Amino acid sequence: MTSGFNSVSAETVIEKKENTVSLSFSVPKNSPYFDGHFPGMPVLPAVAQTELVLRFCARYLGTGIAVSQIKRLKFVTRILPSVPLLLKAELNDNILTYNITSPDGGILYSTGIYVLTQERNSSCVKQGFIIPVYRHGESACVTAKKLAVMGLPVILIDDGNDEETKKLLKDFTGKTNGVTLASLDKNTGKGGAVIRGLQKARELCLTHVLQVDADGQHDIERAKFFLDESAKNPSIVICGYPEYDESAPASRVNGRRISNFWAMIVTLSKELKDVLCGFRVYPVDAALNAIKTPFIDKRMGFDPEVLVRLYWKGVYPLYHPVKVNYPRGGISNFHAVRDNIRIGWMFTRLCAGMLLHLPVLIIRKIKRGKKTEIS
């Protein structure tokens, strides 16, 4: 029923604490939840309400979705399409208590107490966002504010900006709930900022983070879907496959094909379909483990290099489309000559490194090829 959950609209977090969450939402008439239930008089089924509660709590409280016992479950009032709803949930150890009511609390729709499985709850997924910022202070704040509505931690990384941008970011994070600032004294490049963001995420006990560029190019409406996919596949990287509009420079669109080609060479695989799109969900520990090398590129070569190194370690990608636009008059931190040279040198290093991984890559290619044929 995951497609039903993805159809939920108008999701807004009202209050979020460590063990409690309150959020409003509605389920549109065209949601798969209503398919066949009932023709001519759609009603949200009990099993759909159960999934909604468990998946919302997985997203905001870091729980699992596996239930070992239902201590109490009562469905009081029918839920019709597009009706405004309020979910209040509380987690105590592995006991999850919830109520779904009308926004004013006057109508009780359902209530229940679940006992979550200890195994799943002990390895829960805790998600957030990281946004590396250099010369895009205003757009970064706009993006962070939109993401913070989801009730998940947002980490802005000040990558050695000028004093004006530093003040802007500091003031913004100081007054915006759920947004944290991590700072670097000097500009280290996108890769260095992402690494600092991953380190900060680990400090906050986050297990997975969605990296979003600060310049507003990515369609952040896809954030919820990408995080849901990560929760279902916590051991892999959920990667954005860019869908460009007419604003995209031809040089950028065509140039990335070169990087994708070399990524195919150094992994002996076509699985890395796009290595430059920065819209992706990292497993935090896996990413930090993959980049434990003094040779990691800390500028524009980071995005492709980290995917290659993750692949070498058996952390595979799963791609989903994301719309990408280039705002008119936008500031680009990409320096064509310098960064292309660095990316070329980075792939040269990876070609050398591939020789050490070659036996494993060949065996893996054979095994994964057989799995693909079977599936």
* pTM for the model: 0.70
Greater model confidence, 343 or 182: 182
202-249 residue pLDDT tens: 888 899 999 999 988 889 999 999 999 998 888 899 999 999 877 666
Greater model confidence, 314 or 16: 314
Alpha carbon distance 48, 80 (integer Å): 12
- For domain 127-365, give its CATH number from 3.90.550.10, 3.40.309.10, 3.40.50.300, 3.40.50.720: 3.90.550.10
Q: Give the residue extent of every domain in the chain.
A: 2-122, 127-365
Q: What is the mean pLDDT of residues 331-340?
A: 65
* Edge-to-edge strand list for the sheet holding 108-116: 9-16, 20-26, 85-92, 95-101, 108-116, 67-75
Banded model confidence at residue 122, pLDDT cuts 50, 70, 90:
very low
Q: What is the mean pLDDT of residues 344-367?
A: 87
The owner of tokens 């990558």 is: 159
Q: Where is average pLDDT lowest: 42-51, 321-330, 364-373?
A: 364-373
Residue type for position 251: S
Residue 260 has pLDDT above 50, yes or no: yes
Q: What percent of the chain shows pLDDT beyond 70? A: 89
36-57 residue pLDDT tens: 888 889 999 999 999 999 988 8
Banded model confidence at residue 118, pLDDT cuts 50, 70, 90:
low
Residue 372 has pLDDT above 50, yes or no: no
Dihedral of the alpha carbons of 228, 232, 236, 242, in degrees to the nearest 10? -30
Fold of the CATH domain 2-122: Thiol Ester Dehydrase; Chain A (3.10.129)
Greater model confidence, 154 or 299: 154
